[in-house]
Amino acid sequence: MKTLSLIDIQLVAHEHFKKRGFTTTLDVKNDLRKNGFHAIQSEVSLWMDELATEEEWDYECNGTFRMYSLGDDEQYSATLYMVKGNAFWEGELHGQTTWVTHGAIGSTMQSRTVHEHTFPKSRIAWTNWKQLITRNYQHGFNAFDNPFIARLRLRSLYQNYRLQTPISCLISYRNTKKYVAKGNQWIEMQGNYVLGWELPKQEKELKRMLRKKEWNSVQVNFQTVHVHHEETSHKEPLLVENVLQPIMEIDNSNIYEIELSYPNGETLYLSAYDWQWENELLPLVRWLTL
């Protein structure tokens, strides 16, 4: 019979959690014996107690054995890129879903399969995620900085757009300040504005802006401005001469929508309400406009 270890108990317990959300020391022992392990109830119970403490399982005792569950759900997220020789493994966990892909370094997204799996709870997805990472380390993979700009789940979702070249980009901002010189007054205004870039002509300007949190219209050029709402918030005497153009102060955390237009007439709408603007939305747009 095979010798039992903590990892063997963990894998069986996690499999039960994935399938039905709970397990017992008796069920784990029985499955281990079916798999050819020398499993003793008292030994399994001790190691299950250790795992429950480490992974914060909940449990109830029926007087004979304990019934374990993962308890209240939490929202987990993680990303990891791993390498072994010329092979790579990339994964992302977001809420209840994991995305995983692997292949030769340098292979294209279109030549690989992205495996997506949704679990009943984020906590169960997190348990599965830790199993995947443990196995990768056991197989000789090591963690590296991810060379990809955008998150795996977003690249998987929008990979068809990656094959096309956008011809323009419109970015909508809320609560943005604009300063205008009128006569002898310096007028501060606030509103919602849409800024535009013609692609690929203004690609470098767009990407320079996408890498910043804050910028102004003196630093980065854009082609079009649409005003959705604007009101005067402050006036003061004009102290600087020869101010020919309005100056806008831009904070990318105020983005609420991005539109990418393509030669075939299709438009891709990306909302900042769906994703985190700094780590998800802007890197995705950079990836789509490479």
Domain boundaries, the chain: 6-69, 77-148, 168-288
**Whole-number Å distance between alpha carbons of 249 and 180:** 12
| pLDDT 10s digits, 4-40 | 998 899 889 988 988 888 899 999 999 999 999 999 9
What's the average model confidence in pLDDT over 90-107? 94
Q: What is the CA radius of gyration of the chain?
A: 27
Of 195, 219, 223, 225, the residue nearest 285 (C-alpha)? 195
**Whole-number Å distance between alpha carbons of 44 and 243:** 77
For residue 100, what pLDDT is reported? 97
What's the average model confidence in pLDDT over 110-123? 84
Residue 277: DSSP 8-state: I
| pLDDT 10s digits, 208-260 | 888 888 888 887 888 878 888 888 877 776 665 555 678 888 999 999 999 99
> What ranges make up the beta strands (E) of 142-201?
142-144, 168-182, 185-198
What is the fold, at CATH topology level, of the domain defined by 6-69? Arc Repressor Mutant, subunit A (1.10.10)
Which secondary structure element, helix H or strand E, spans residue 153, and what is its range? helix 152-157
**Whole-number Å distance between alpha carbons of 119 and 106:** 30
Task: Give the tokens for residue 11.
Answer: 């894998």
The β-bridge partners of 59 are 68
Rounded-to-10 torsion of CA 199, 170, 260, 102: 90
For residue 290, what pLDDT is reported? 75
Average pLDDT, the chain: 88
What's the average model confidence in pLDDT over 142-166? 92
Separation in Å, CA 151 to CA 9, 255, 281, 288, 290: 33, 19, 9, 12, 15
| Phi, psi angles (nearest 5°) of residue 9 | -65, -40
Q: Provide the CB-side half-sphere exposure for 197 (13 A, CA).
A: 24
255-261 and 224-237 beta bridge pairing: unpaired
**Whole-number Å distance between alpha carbons of 88 and 148:** 12
Task: Give the tokens for residue 217.
Answer: 């219209």
What's the average model confidence in pLDDT over 263-274? 93
**Whole-number Å distance between alpha carbons of 238 and 124:** 61
Q: Which CATH architecture has domain 77-148?
A: Single Sheet (2.20)
